[in-house]
Amino acid sequence: MNPYFNLIIFLAIIVFGIGIEVFLSQIYFKENGVRKKHKLVHFKFSRYVFLISVPMFAILFMTNIVGISIIKSFLIFAVFGTVLEYCIGYSYQIIVGQRLWTYHRYSVRGYTSLLSIPLWGLCGAMFYLLVKVIGG
């Protein structure tokens, strides 16, 4: 298949998932009578799982099209992205004396979060598809 088409499919699935999440959030807030200016969105693990479920489905779907290498890219970026984020946050605090960012949920000493691991992997999958487009 055409690498441009693969990238477009991947991005379309992710945009579709975000659209569904936004649509369902609006329905949720309307049904519960929450006015727009008083809408507070608190962290819910179920919402997080829903948010990343469609992009994870996109990766599994793309595995059928481009092969297992996209999962390898996902895993490599998930590990190295998380380690890099931790190292940058830690180094910044050592050098400057303050935190560059703070995580409150599932934090790894405040420098990164376990919740960001799949997001790094998703970036890796997208970069893999971009490299396929650029490299031909």
pLDDT in tens, 87-115: 999 999 999 999 888 888 899 988 999 99
Pairwise CA distance, residues 26 & 47, whole Å: 13
pTM of the predicted protein model: 0.81
Q: Is the distance from CB of 7 to CB of 132 less than 8 angstroms?
A: yes
Q: Is the distance from CB of 44 to CB of 51 less than 8 angstroms?
A: no
Domain boundaries, the chain: 3-135
pLDDT in tens, 38-85: 556 677 788 788 888 888 989 999 999 999 999 999 999 999 999 999
